[in-house]
Amino acid sequence: MAAVRTATLGGADAVAADGEAPERIARARSGDRAAQRLLFECWRGPIYNYLRQMARDDELAADLTQETFVRAYRHLPRLRHEAAFRAWLFQIAHNLVRDRVAGAATVALDEDDPAYGPDPHGDGARQLERAELAAHVGRAVAALSPEHREVVVLHHFEALEVEEIARLLRVRPGTVKSRLARAREQLRRRLAPYVEDS
């Protein structure tokens, strides 16, 4: 099962509770700007982080995040089931990044990336240790092929189920599982000092 991140992710479980409320999606569909903004606030983090992992470019990720929501709201009347909103949003983001980045998403992560630096609210050696570990994890994920990185990001970071990812990528669930297994094995090798018993 995908691990749903809470504190670090800004509350993916809270996102799921508020960001998929059918009445809010219905209001957004009718053009209610306030409802559209609330949905945006719920999903901007997951969508931006997914695009950032796939595009490896912060500016492009920000631009594609905006375009994802513009397209989503323009075509929202076509969405038949409110419950499918999250997967549909990721589908739009996936299509956009696929068209714009097309196979170029293998650039190594910038080691000075502030997202992997120490927590400014923390202190001491423990903070540095955690920051170093986070940087290693970030680099290991960034070094995966785009296909493997995408399933890892969608499953482990965004908490999408295997079947949802399969529908999104238009592949069989078995293909998603096999990509997850290969990605896990590569990450396990790259992160060996952190995951093996000493």
Partner 1 sequence: MDCDQARPMLSDYLEGSPVRRAELEAHLAGCVACAAELAALRRVDDLLAAAPWAEPPSGLWEGVEARLEERSARRPRLVWAGAFAAAALLLAVLWPRPTPPEEVYSHDLYRVTCAPAFGDGLLGDVMPSLRGEAP
Instruction: Give residues in contact with partner 1 (CB under 8 A).
Output: 1, 3, 5, 8-10, 33, 36-37, 40-41, 44-45, 48-49, 52, 58, 62, 65-67, 69-70, 73-74, 115-116, 133-134, 137-138, 141, 152, 156-157, 162, 177, 180-181, 184-185, 187-188, 191-192, 194-197
Shortest distance, position 73 Cβ to partner 1, whole Å = 6
Is 40 strand, coil or helix? helix
Shortest distance, position 115 Cβ to partner 1, whole Å = 4
Shortest distance, position 3 Cβ to partner 1, whole Å = 4
Nearest to 38 by CA among 78, 81, 73: 73
Nearer to partner 1, 22 or 41 (CB): 41
Nearer to partner 1, 36 or 91 (CB): 36
Shortest distance, position 177 Cβ to partner 1, whole Å = 6
Nearer to partner 1, 50 or 87 (CB): 50
First CA to last CA distance, the chain: 27
Q: Which two tokens stand for residue 76?
A: 């929202």
- Distances from the Cα of 161 to the Cα of 86, 87, 153, 171, 188, angstroms: 12, 10, 11, 13, 21
Q: Which two tokens stand for residue 177?
A: 């599982």
